[in-house]
Amino acid sequence: MGMASGKVKWFNNAKGYGFVVEDGKEEDLFAHYSAIQMDGYKTLKAGQEVSFDIIQGPKGLHAVNIGAPVSASTLKEDVAQKSKKQPA
C-alpha cells in the first residue's frame, strides 16, 4: 500500500498521541508522536493535512511515517524522473 493522505482529527501534545483520518474514509487512525517524520518538535495540529502509511497495530490501524502532505507536483516530478530512459 502506498502513502495515504488525510487530515489530523486531534492531537494531544501532553499525551503524545492523537488520531488522523484518511481522505474519503471515516475510520480514525491512531497517530503516536514517535511516528511523526518531521523536523523539530513532533506535534500535529487538528485539521493539518498529512501523508502517512497505514499499518495494523494491536488495537486497530495506526498511521506511521507521518509527514507533510505529498503534493501533486512532487509526485509528477518523481514519475517524470523515473520514466526518463537511461542512455543506452
For the chain, list the domains and their CATH numbers: 4-83 (2.40.50.140)
Q: Is the pLDDT of residue 82 over 70?
A: no
Q: Do 35 and 66 meet the contact criterion of CB atoms below 8 Å apart? A: yes
CA 50 vs CA 41, 44, 59, 84, 86: distances in Å:
16, 9, 22, 29, 33
Q: Could you read off the pLDDT of 35-60 as tens digits, one per residue?
A: 999 888 899 999 999 999 999 998 89
Q: pLDDT tens digits, residue range 11-40? A: 999 999 999 999 999 999 999 999 999 888
Nearest-angstrom CA–CA distance, 55 and 59: 11
In the predicted model, is pLDDT for residue 78 greater than 90?
Answer: no
Query: What pTM did the predictor assign?
Result: 0.75
- Please tell me the predicted confidence (pLDDT) of residue 88: 57
What is the reported pLDDT for 1?
Answer: 53
